[in-house]
Amino acid sequence: MNVEQYRVAPGAKIDLTEWDANDKNLFDGGKQQGQDALPALNKRLETLQELLYAEGKHKVLIVLQGMDTAGKDGVIRHVFNGVNPQGVKVASFKVPTPQELAQDYLWRIHKQTPGRGEIVIFNRSHYEDVLVVRVHNLVPPEVWERRYEHINAFEKLLTDEGTTILKFFLHISKEEQRQRLQERLDTPEKNWKFSMGDLAERKLWDQYMAAYEAVLSKTSTGHAPWCIVPANRKWYRNLIISHVIIQTLEGLNMRYPEGEPGLDKIVVE
């Protein structure tokens, strides 16, 4: 599956109205076929993650961003199903604590980045400081505007030190979000997922789209590109992200470490 069409070229000017959240042009089958294809990808990712952990050389950071209900938790649950949790860590970034607010805004982020042999998944990330902060006017424009440069430099530091960064914007339509929020209200078992704050944020949809367009335009770089993933179809979203991660890991040309000399002569009694 050639997923290059979803990557944001460095310097590209992004208009999200030109990106179809319903797109599924890389897969001829429907929902059931897409869901049936995922277990084999899970198995391949499991093997590659074990190899990454065993080799202990590379670091992988996966950034998930998107509007409420876009499916960040779903990606983690389905794409990484079966992967050994020993080598994978999920970091979620909520409202900063008093200690975190006393530091620079990237301080709490840097502490969560992967070590050698690790995959770390950011469920939301440092990009909240040019998204929520911008939309809610938490700091003056001159403060958040300079953060794009900070973020690019931060990610360049990570890649120079051996981290591979994959960034996914889960692109859903406003109507799809409405349906997913309504489903949370209509399904008692999903009521816990709903917050009145979701409705307040939804009213700011256009402001968030403008903020995301700026992020995608200003921070997709050769060393840390963004992928805009059509996410209205959950199964297609999972296939695209799985393929991007697998192709990236395969491109690292990893090898298992050699065992101790003489192991071929040992017989366990």
**3-state secondary structure labels for all residues of the chain:** CCHHHHECCCCCCCCHHHCCCCCCCCCCCCHHHHHHHHHHHHHHHHHHHHHHHHHCCCEEEEEEEECCCCCHHHHHHHHCCCCCHHHEEEEECCCCCHHHHCCCCCHHHHCCCCCCCCEEEEECCHHHHHCHHHHCCCCCHHHHHCHHHHHHHHHHHHHHCCEEEEEEEEECCHHHHHHHHHHHHHCHHHHHHCCHHHHHHHCCHHHHHHHHHHHHHHHCCCCCCEEEEECCCHHHHHHHHHHHHHHHHHCCCCCCCCCCCCHHHCCCC
- Topology of domain 14-251, CATH: Rossmann fold (3.40.50)
Domain ranges in the chain are 14-251
Global pTM value: 0.95
What string of pLDDT tens digits covers the 269 residues of the chain? 889 999 999 999 999 999 999 999 999 888 999 999 999 999 999 999 999 999 999 999 999 999 999 999 999 999 999 898 888 999 998 888 899 989 999 999 999 999 999 999 999 999 999 999 999 999 999 999 999 999 999 999 999 999 999 999 999 999 999 999 999 999 999 999 999 999 999 999 999 999 999 999 999 999 999 999 999 999 999 999 999 999 999 999 999 998 888 878 889 88
